[in-house]
Structure 1
């Protein structure tokens, strides 16, 4: 039976690289790939690029902005009209708006014992400024986490079906840190690391989804699995946005240094193709055999060999359950507002 794959944030970066690699898989015959994107002009360009190298592929587009409640609900209804099932949902869309890079802390960190952690996670050198969506939600929280959560809830009829499995795969980050997240402030209204908070929340939510959707409660709640990946340090538009005023000639000097660092740090995957390695690895695995507490890391050897390695996430069941309950409550609130507006 043909597989149906939905990818959010598919028009560039890791999302587009994933789509290219999916269509090149041995199991790609009959694959129906749906690109869910906010900007349809860029989505059309991505589709054209995919069809240029895979002319017989089934590639369709879906307009969806995960920062918008109405957009997510509309997209979910459209998906249920188009498909009677979804085999894979890659929850890849994400933003890090207005990142602030602390150059002084960076150079100080280069000569400290924390240099590896700093280079691989950005800890201590990155902060972000958040915004508010028209729905009144924190923007990073809405795009990276809540919009995807609402999408999953809306798609239950075609995700949770007796007798077969479906898989959710979250694009997380090494920047996902418990220290940036608080159950008292899940939207991160008061902090300066909304990206780190949202990615840690997605790690915790993935664990909660496995807990709730794989219990032997009803036939409708079996067979939906959730996994988390880390693409490593990848040069994408999000990465370049960290230093928006960095002169072009300095990037030219800086990039060879990154390739040199990769010889010693395997998390420096650098290219979107390499960063998508764990996403493709999971596509070829049975979800019921995966560890729900593991984050699957895309890694690259000094010689450029790509591979995937699972590492235990810093998550616990109590936190994930409380987060899940809070998201359910927020879902009820936004639905009431959406109905009355």
Structure 2
């Protein structure tokens, strides 16, 4: 059998486009789609098998924003496979995005218009909520759930004499200014998406420092400005109808407007083709598309450092211990209630 590849958030957008590209390249892959919505996951699987009827495509239910779901899914993955060659951490959310109309108006008539559109800087805020685990939802989904998944799948990723790749879908919106180590969940801010994506950049570096000697390598990509369900949720549909032709025109002058999920998955697919030992842990690999529609990948140095990266990793370990203890206490309390009821 071929290499084992797991993709989170694989039922649509960039994740589904990546799966299609992977199977077109290597039909012998063992591909696992890890998705929250199983109806959509089954539809994605059906579409992939229609194009590649001989492919090995399986599903697993995974809500990376829910700790119990991550633990259950990881247990099932360990049961199914004895190794994991590629782990694409692609799932992510940007809940309740709010557009600043004044910033948009000013941006349209400034020299920073393309930068603002491609990064969302100065344009977008989000309203975050709490998960059932008591964590900030964006932090839990975009970062912590994936961190916990890597920890749980360590036996499959770290195998003697073998190498594996963990590949994060980050963003142009990842900015140091939005992240604070003393508020890594971004409880006190209005840019949780930007904060979580910058934290994933930091965490990727920490994983390399910790696991490279065990054969695990981590990389980060930016898909560029891609039109997906997440993007379309930012503005009313009529606005996109008006602005999309302009965006295709603007792409002549910038390479960051990848626009389609296929183009946005370029860097993910490019990393799949590389030897992980040759990759630079300090850069983010960007999906880019020329005005003529040619796709390519370009490395760009990230605004990160080892000290903050290491400190974030330690804080995540501490939070993991706290969350696990809380779950254990809840389970013990539930067991005690059942025992009392039966008695």
For normalisation by structure 1, the TM-score amounts to 0.95
Residue 130 (str. 1) matches residue 128 (str. 2): yes
Q: Distance in 2 between matches of 1:29 and 1:35?
A: 15
Q: Distance in 2 between matches of 1:251 and 1:115?
A: 16
Structure 2: any 5+ residue segments left out of the alignment?
331-343
* 1:337, distance to aligned residue in structure 2 (A): 1.0
Q: Distance in 2 between matches of 1:160 and 1:302?
A: 41
Residue 258 (str. 1) matches residue 247 (str. 2): yes
Structure 1: any 5+ residue segments left out of the alignment?
216-221
Q: Distance in 2 between matches of 1:235 and 1:128?
A: 18
For normalisation by structure 2, the TM-score amounts to 0.95
Q: Secondary structure at the match of 1:205?
A: helix
* 1:340, distance to aligned residue in structure 2 (A): 1.6
Q: Secondary structure at the match of 1:326?
A: helix
Q: Distance in 2 between matches of 1:240 and 1:111?
A: 22
* 1:214, distance to aligned residue in structure 2 (A): 1.8
Residue 271 (str. 1) matches residue 260 (str. 2): yes
Q: Distance in 2 between matches of 1:9 and 1:278?
A: 17
Pairing partner for 1:339 from 328, 336, 340: 328
**Larger CA deviation: 117-126 vs 277-286:** 117-126
* 1:251, distance to aligned residue in structure 2 (A): 2.6
Determine the structure 2 residue equivalent to 1:139.
137
Determine the structure 2 residue equivalent to 1:19.
19
* 2:35 and 2:41 in contact (8 A); partners too: yes
Give matches, 1:184-263, under 5 Å: 184-215=182-213, 222-243=214-235, 245-247=236-238, 250-263=239-252
Q: Distance in 2 between matches of 1:290 and 1:80?
A: 27
* 2:176 and 2:198 in contact (8 A); partners too: yes
- Cα offsets for 1:167-221 (capped at 9, x unmatched): 0000000000000000010000000000000000000000000001124xxxxxx
* 1:30, distance to aligned residue in structure 2 (A): 1.8
Q: Distance in 1 between matches of 2:96 and 2:242?
A: 24
Q: Distance in 1 between matches of 2:252 and 2:27?
A: 36
Determine the structure 2 residue equivalent to 1:219.
none
Q: Distance in 2 between matches of 1:329 and 1:86?
A: 26
Q: Distance in 2 between matches of 1:109 and 1:52?
A: 44
Determine the structure 1 residue equivalent to 2:338.
none
Number of equivalent positions: 330
Q: Distance in 2 between matches of 1:34 and 1:246?
A: 32
Q: Distance in 1 between matches of 2:158 and 2:83?
A: 9
Q: Secondary structure at the match of 1:214?
A: helix
* 1:112, distance to aligned residue in structure 2 (A): 2.4
Determine the structure 1 residue equivalent to 2:335.
none
Root-mean-square deviation (Å): 0.9
Determine the structure 1 residue equivalent to 2:2.
2
Determine the structure 2 residue equivalent to 1:315.
304
Q: Distance in 2 between matches of 1:52 and 1:279?
A: 23
* 2:27 and 2:52 in contact (8 A); partners too: no
* 2:159 and 2:215 in contact (8 A); partners too: yes
* 2:34 and 2:59 in contact (8 A); partners too: yes
Q: Distance in 2 between matches of 1:242 and 1:271?
A: 16
